[in-house]
């Protein structure tokens, strides 16, 4: 019998300054993504809204990662907070963005087992 691993979704939503979305995403993928993968995160989506690069307005970028189960989430979170390169990345990229937020989600069916710690 295979043990079920709950998927936790890590959703980064970033609004870059007008005309900066593509440059931001390129930098994010080159500098942030490799370390995220090392922390066990799997990239699932890179969404751009509206679906075209804007020059005079801001795009909204939604970047979705996953980890499998609560232990992987805690490991990713622990190592990300203790890695000065992660904080340094966000500090260096700050001039390119209007706002950013990170949220975490899971399937409703997985909530009971995720909360059983």
Q: Report pLDDT for 3.
A: 57
Q: Report pLDDT for 40.
A: 95
Q: Report pLDDT for 2.
A: 46
Digitized pLDDT (tens) for each residue of the chain, 117 residues in all? 345 689 999 999 999 999 999 999 999 999 999 999 999 999 999 999 999 999 999 999 999 999 999 899 999 998 888 889 889 999 999 999 999 999 999 999 888 888 776
> In terms of Cα–Cα distance, which of 65, 54, 46, 51 is closest to 19?
54
Contact call for residues 61 and 13 (beta carbons, < 8 A): yes
Domains of the chain (ranges plus CATH)?
7-115 (3.30.70.100)
């Amino acid at each position: 019998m295979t043990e079920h691993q709950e998927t936790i979704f890590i959703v980064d939503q970033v609004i870059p300054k007008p005309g900066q979305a593509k440059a931001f995403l390129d930098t994010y993928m080159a500098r942030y993504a490799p370390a995220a993968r090392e922390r066990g995160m799997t990239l699932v989506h890179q969404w751009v809204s509206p679906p075209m690069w804007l020059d005079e307005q801001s795009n909204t970028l939604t970047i979705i990662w996953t980890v499998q189960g609560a232990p992987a989430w805690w490991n990713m979170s622990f190592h990300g907070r203790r890695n000065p390169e992660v904080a340094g990345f966000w500090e260096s990229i700050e001039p390119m963005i209007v706002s950013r937020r990170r949220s975490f989600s899971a399937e409703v069916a997985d909530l009971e087992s995720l909360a059983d710690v």
